[in-house]
A and B are shown apart, each in its own frame.
Chain A
């Protein structure tokens, strides 16, 4: 059973427009969420995160929104740039015994930003 779902395998947007990547989760114990960006044949790079006590976190062009009641989070990239073209993974973590180790990943969304 997939606990973190990214239902859109791919997304294509025009340069300068907004990119919105979505992620849904089923485990109500998840209390920390992360977005990673990955280029082909490279390791994922941490992008932005959000704790469950917040509903928004912003870092430059990247904003993550969390809707706990809907068990949904989204990553907004504004404005989108061709260099943002990559696979984006949503990941979630549940505090366990006071420490936090396991990240559960979605399957990823391939974002293509067209010039």
Chain B
């Protein structure tokens, strides 16, 4: 049964600590994405990766870092430099199409991070 898993569902950290959010997919998708959702807001793109060992900044990358060592995994680190880290974080994946086409993104269940 294919899908995207994010763990843990709820995460608490003290201010000033780095924290890494997990995202795994078994859909054989090339592209993976990280979004952040704040109350009353849409989803904002943090980072995305088209292929292994490559990733690009999204709209709000400051204070975050990612890695893509395996096709299935795209962990996100929220560093102490992120000024407002408390949010709901969503990971997504899609097929990466190189010709004119469109990508439907599939989302994981999300991780709610609370920084105390």
Look across to chain A and name the residue whose beta carbon is closest to the beta carbon of B88: A41
Segment of A44-52, A61-69, A78-86 in the binding face: A44-52
Q: Among B33, B40, B109, which residue has its beta carbon within 8 angstroms of that of A9?
A: B40
Q: Are A100 and B112 in contact (CB under 8 A)?
A: no
Instruction: Give the contact-size bracket for chain A.
Output: 20 to 34
By a CB distance below 8 angstroms, the chain A residues around B90 are 43-44
Given contacts A4-B42, A34-B104, A89-B43, contact A42 B99 (CB under 8 A): no
Question: Shortest distance in angstroms between A17's beta carbon and chain B's nearest beta carbon?
Answer: 26
Q: Among B40, B103, B104, B110, which residue has its beta carbon within 8 angstroms of that of A43?
A: B110
A49 to B71, CA, bound (A): 26
By a CB distance below 8 angstroms, the chain B residues around A93 are 102-103
Look across to chain A and name the residue whose beta carbon is closest to the beta carbon of B50: A101
| Interface of A toward B, CB cutoff 8 Å | 4, 9, 32, 34, 36, 41-46, 49, 51, 89, 91, 93, 95, 98-103, 105-108
17 A-B residue contacts at CB 8 Å? A4-B42, A9-B40, A32-B102, A41-B9, A42-B109, A43-B4, A43-B6, A43-B110, A44-B43, A89-B42, A101-B31, A101-B48, A101-B96, A103-B105, A105-B42, A106-B42, A108-B42
By a CB distance below 8 angstroms, the chain A residues around B48 are 101-102
Quick one: which of B4, B40, B99, B103 has the most chain A CB within 10 A? Answer: B103
Look across to chain B and name the residue whose beta carbon is closest to the beta carbon of A107: B42
By a CB distance below 8 angstroms, the chain A residues around B98 are 98-99
By a CB distance below 8 angstroms, the chain B residues around A107 are 40-42
A55 to B48, CA, bound (A): 30
Does any Cβ of A come within 8 Å of B107's Cβ? yes
A102 to B96, CA, bound (A): 11
A108 to B41, CA, bound (A): 7
Look across to chain A and name the residue whose beta carbon is closest to the beta carbon of B94: A101
